[in-house]
């Protein structure tokens, strides 16, 4: 099965992704690293350990990483994920504890000790990954691919143009994108499409399976503010879609496109995806800035991913 390391900011939908990843027979979760994002670092670590218990997961090393972005102001998303990051879902306490090493060290160790290259799956702001690449550049050859949930080729969520994970730490995302490691972007273009309907979530939440009950409760928490400021059910599986992409990439329309991360002005945190089929005036006049060609998911067979997740 596919060896992966998950970098998370658990987070309602990171929790869904963790449940799915540790239960999927084709995925071998070698380590989990935590970063501040949806919630504070301490909360993220606690949520992650509890979710592993809820999934009855084998012993998987977990480590705490960055407490805040490299340069950006820390801003947690408690309006989306609740004060506790799990939308109010109270899970039993756990005997699991985090490793006594930093996320960067756990990443380094796991990559260097693996007998085969490992896929890094980033479901959160990319602060830990950027610190890893700056601290231990020797790990680059040990990384099969970076698969990240983040960015957008169209609409944003944190701002009109920027997706939360990239917006939260744009400098980190720019470092990761510029690393030259093969990279796959599972952005809002596909993230926003994969949903489980409310009846199905409620049935899971009250059903016989303990694992289903946790997933159902988490899904029932997937709400967003609509334009009139009222709360609406979204049922998004969110970050869990990036795990679907690991095992069923054929459900996606993927294009290799030049991408850059904007660092200044209102566009800060935007991933600009060049979808032109011709070169424009910018190329004629010498081009602008740092572009990296990466694989971008532009469309998804959403019902297929919802079924896969369920
Ligand atoms: C991303 O930000 C967080 O709210 C979610 O967990 C997801 O990783 C969506 O923009
Ligand atoms: Ca996340």
* pLDDT per position as a tens digit, 45-54: 999 999 999 9
32 CA → ligand 2 middle, Å? 13
Our CA angle for 68, 191, 212, nearest 5°, is 90
Centroid of ligand 2 to alpha carbon of 42 (angstroms) = 15
Q: Is the pLDDT of residue 10 over 70?
A: yes
Res 182: pLDDT: 98
Q: Which residue has the higher pLDDT, 73 or 162?
A: 162
In this structure, which ligand is nearest to the CA of 156? Answer: 1
* Ligand 2 centroid distance, CA of 266 (Å): 23
pLDDT of residue 283: 78
pLDDT at 230 over 90: no
Q: What is the whole-number distance in angstroms between the Cα of residue 229 and the centre of ligand 1?
A: 20
Averaged confidence pLDDT in the chain: 94
Q: Is the CB of 167 under 6 A from ligand 1?
A: no
Amino acid 122: pLDDT = 98
- Whole-number pLDDT of residue 202: 95
* Whether the predicted pLDDT of 287 surpasses 70: no
Whether ligand 1 lies within 6 angstroms of the CB of 239 is answered as yes
Mutation test residue for ligand 1: of 8, 10, 37, the one with most atoms within 8 Å of CB = 37
Over residues 87-114, the mean pLDDT reads 95
Question: Where residue 136 falls among pLDDT bands split at 50, 70, 90?
Answer: very high
pLDDT at position 286 over 70: no
- Ligand 2 centre distance from Cα of residue 15 (Å): 9
Q: Is the pLDDT of residue 237 over 70?
A: yes
Closest ligand 1 atom to residue 81 Cα is 4
Distance CA 139, CA 81 (A): 33
ipTM field: 0.97
Whether 163 lines ligand 1, by a CB cut-off of 6 Å, is yes
Q: For the beta carbon of residue 125, count every other beta carbon within 10 angstroms.
A: 30
Q: What percent of the chain has pLDDT over 90?
A: 85
First to last CA, the chain: 20
Give the whole-angstrom CA distance, residue 308 versus residue 23: 12
Q: What are phi and psi of 6, to 5 degrees?
A: -100, 130
Query: Ligand 1: does its nearest atom lie under 6 Å from the Cβ of 38?
Result: yes
Residue 83, pLDDT > 80, answer no
* Alpha-carbon span 201 to 204, nearest angstrom: 5
What pLDDT score does 77 carry? Answer: 74
Give the dihedral of Cα atoms 84, 224, 273, 190; nearest 10 deg.
100
Residue having the nearest C-alpha atom to atom 10 of ligand 1: 164
Enter the pTM of the model.
Answer: 0.96
Res 79: pLDDT? 76
Q: Which ligand is closest to the CA of 165, given by its number? A: 1
The C-alpha angle 83, 106, 262, rounded to 5 degrees, equals: 60
Q: Can you give the pLDDT at residue 280?
A: 85
Average pLDDT over residues 89-113: 96
**Model confidence at 288: pLDDT above 70:** no
């Amino acid at each position: 099965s596919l060896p992966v390391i998950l970098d998370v900011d658990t987070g309602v939908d990171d929790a869904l992704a963790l449940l799915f990843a540790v239960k999927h027979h084709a995925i071998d979760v070698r380590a989990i690293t935590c970063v501040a994002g949806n919630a504070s670092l301490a909360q993220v670590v606690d949520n992650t350990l509890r979710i592993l218990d809820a999934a009855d997961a084998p012993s998987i090393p977990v480590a705490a990483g960055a407490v805040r972005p490299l340069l950006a102001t820390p801003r947690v998303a408690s309006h989306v994920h609740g004060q506790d990051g799990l939308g109010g879902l109270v899970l039993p306490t756990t005997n699991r504890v985090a490793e006594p090493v930093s996320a960067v060290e756990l990443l380094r160790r796991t990559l260097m000790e693996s007998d085969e290259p490992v896929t890094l799956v980033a479901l959160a702001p990319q602060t830990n990954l950027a610190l890893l690449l700056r601290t231990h550049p020797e790990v680059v050859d040990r990384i099969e691919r970076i698969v990240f949930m983040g960015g957008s080729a169209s609409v944003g969520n944190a701002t009109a143009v920027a997706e939360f994970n990239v917006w939260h730490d744009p400098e980190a995302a720019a470092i990761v994108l510029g690393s030259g490691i093969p990279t796959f972007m599972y952005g809002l273009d596909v993230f926003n499409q994969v949903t489980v309907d409310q009846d199905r979530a409620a049935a899971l939440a009250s059903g016989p399976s303990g694992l289903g009950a946790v997933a159902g409760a988490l899904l029932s928490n997937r709400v967003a503010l609509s334009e009139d400021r009222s709360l609406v059910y979204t049922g998004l599986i969110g970050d869990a879609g990036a795990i679907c992409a690991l095992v069923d990439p054929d459900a996606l329309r993927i294009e290799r496109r030049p991408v850059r991360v904007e660092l200044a002005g209102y566009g800060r945190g935007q991933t600009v995806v060049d979808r032109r089929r011709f070169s424009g005036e910018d190329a004629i006049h010498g081009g602008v800035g740092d572009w990296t060609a990466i694989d971008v998911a532009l469309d998804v067979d959403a019902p297929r991913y919802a079924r896969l997740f369920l």
